[in-house]
Structure formats: C-alpha cells, structure tokens
Amino acid sequence: MASDKVLALKPLFNEHELLAKIAKGDERAFTELFEGYYGALGEFVYKITESKAVTQEIVQDAFIKIWLRRETLVDIKSFSNYLFIICRNQTYNQLRKIALERNFNLPIEQHINRDFDIQEELVQVDHYRVLIDSSIDKLPEQAKRVYLLSRHERLKHEEIAKKLNISSETVKKHIQYAVNFIKKDLDSKIDIVILMILMNYLMIY
C-alpha cells in the first residue's frame, strides 16, 4: 500500500534547492513546495478519509510540521517519502480518533511510525484555527458569507455569484478583501507561513 502511494508523489524538479532554502527560513521557497504537493496529498488522504474537512486538516497539519521542523529538511534523503509518511500517520491517527469516538476498534496501530508522529508539535494549531474563525466573524456580513461559501463549502466563484445574486467579480473582490483582512488582523498572532497554510483550502470533487 505505502510503496505505491509514495511513488505517486512525484518529487519536484528543484526540490533539493527548495529544501535548502526552506531550512534557512525562505518563505517563498516553502510556498512553492507547498503548492507543488498540496493537491496530490489531498487526493491521497481523501481516498482514505472520504471527508473533505478531515482531509484538509490532515494535510494542513502535515505542512505545518514541515515548517516547524524546517532546519532538519536538508538531512532528508527522500522528501516525498517523508511527507507521505507524515500524512499517512496523521490520517491513521484521525481514523483511530473517530473510531474511539464511535466506540469501535480499528486495527491501524501497526501502521503508525512514531518517529513521524506530529501531535506533540501541533498543540497550538487548534488555537490558531479558533483565531482564524474569530477573525472571520469580524468581517462585514456579505464578505463573510462569500468567504465561507468559498472556503468552507468550497463553491466556485460562479456558484457563489448565482447563490447570492451578485457578479463573479464582486465575489472575487469580497474574497480578496476577506483574505487581506484576516492576514492583517492576525499578523502579530500567527506565524505568516502557518497562517498561509491554514487559509489554503483543498478543492476536492
């Protein structure tokens, strides 16, 4: 199972260069790496979880871990394999949590490699998500509705425009306003890279 999925994560052509830059704190290089893998990881995790919300959280948490441990990236021989294992473990952790909540056992413990466990480093992430939700609540009503339809319900601009009886251009302006507002509101409260990760939403169909 694992080997087939690892091969599906095709390494970026300039990956080693990006990792070296990220290890030194280069935010632009991290964004390029993030955009290169985000969608593919989302598709892999979604096939297991069948939940868009859970998938998004798992992939976001994986990239937050990568950023928090960025100094160690230069020592990783196969980044795509490393990233796959992080997402796989977090996926099984989430499934195990859901299983416990529903009072049945799920035999997945043996699949988890503890060296890649990310729970300990992500204790603040739930707090960050609460801060983002609080910031969204501060938006003007129409901008808030548009933003939530786009990011939470994952509707396309055209779908939002039809639903709210406004133009696609107006939808675009509301989303741009919302994103800029949230970034400014949380500028001193959340690391800019972590905020970028948490504000990116997977489009899975």
Q: How many CB atoms lie within 10 A of CB 69?
A: 14
Coil, strand or helix at 88: helix
As a whole number of angstroms, the longest Cα–Cα distance in the chain is 53
Per-residue confidence (pLDDT) for residue 94, from 0 to 100? 78
Q: Within this chain, do residues 138 and 98 fall inside the same structural domain, yes or no?
A: no
* Boundary of a domain, candidates 105, 122, 139: 122
Per the structure, the count of domains in the chain is 2
Flag residues of the chain having pLDDT under 50.
1-7, 108-116
Burial class (CB in 10 A: 0-12, 13-18, 19+), 104: exposed
The answer to whether residue 146 sits within a structural domain is yes
Q: How far apart are the first and last CA of the chain?
A: 23
- For residue 173 the two structure tokens come to 């302006």
Q: Could you tell me the pTM of the whole model?
A: 0.80
- For residue 87 the two structure tokens come to 């997402």
Per-residue confidence (pLDDT) for residue 105, from 0 to 100? 53
The answer to whether residue 30 sits within a structural domain is yes
Q: Within this chain, do residues 13 and 96 fall inside the same structural domain, yes or no?
A: yes
The CATH number linked to 13 is 1.10.1740.10
* Boundary of a domain, candidates 122, 147, 175: 122
The CATH number linked to 148 is 1.10.10.10
* Boundary of a domain, candidates 122, 149, 167: 122
Per-residue confidence (pLDDT) for residue 110, from 0 to 100? 47
* Residue of 92, 83, 74, 86 whose CA lies nearest to 115: 86
pLDDT tens-place string over residues 12-58: 888 889 999 999 999 999 999 999 998 888 888 888 888 888 898 88
Per-residue confidence (pLDDT) for residue 122, from 0 to 100? 59
Q: Within this chain, do residues 26 and 87 fall inside the same structural domain, yes or no?
A: yes
Per-residue confidence (pLDDT) for residue 146, from 0 to 100? 96
Name residues whose C-beta falls within 8 Å of residue 55's C-beta, 6 or more positions apart in sequence.
Answer: 42, 45, 46, 49, 202, 204
Per-residue confidence (pLDDT) for residue 1, from 0 to 100? 40
Q: Within this chain, do residues 146 and 70 fall inside the same structural domain, yes or no?
A: no
State the residue range of the domain holding 169. Answer: 125-198
Per-residue confidence (pLDDT) for residue 121, from 0 to 100? 58
Backbone angles phi, psi at 14, to 5 degrees: -110, 30
> What is the gyration radius of the CA atoms in the chain, in angstroms?
18
CA–CA separation, 145 and 125 (whole Å) = 24
Q: Within this chain, do residues 14 and 106 fall inside the same structural domain, yes or no?
A: yes
Name residues whose C-beta falls within 8 Å of residue 35's C-beta, 6 or more positions apart in sequence.
Answer: none
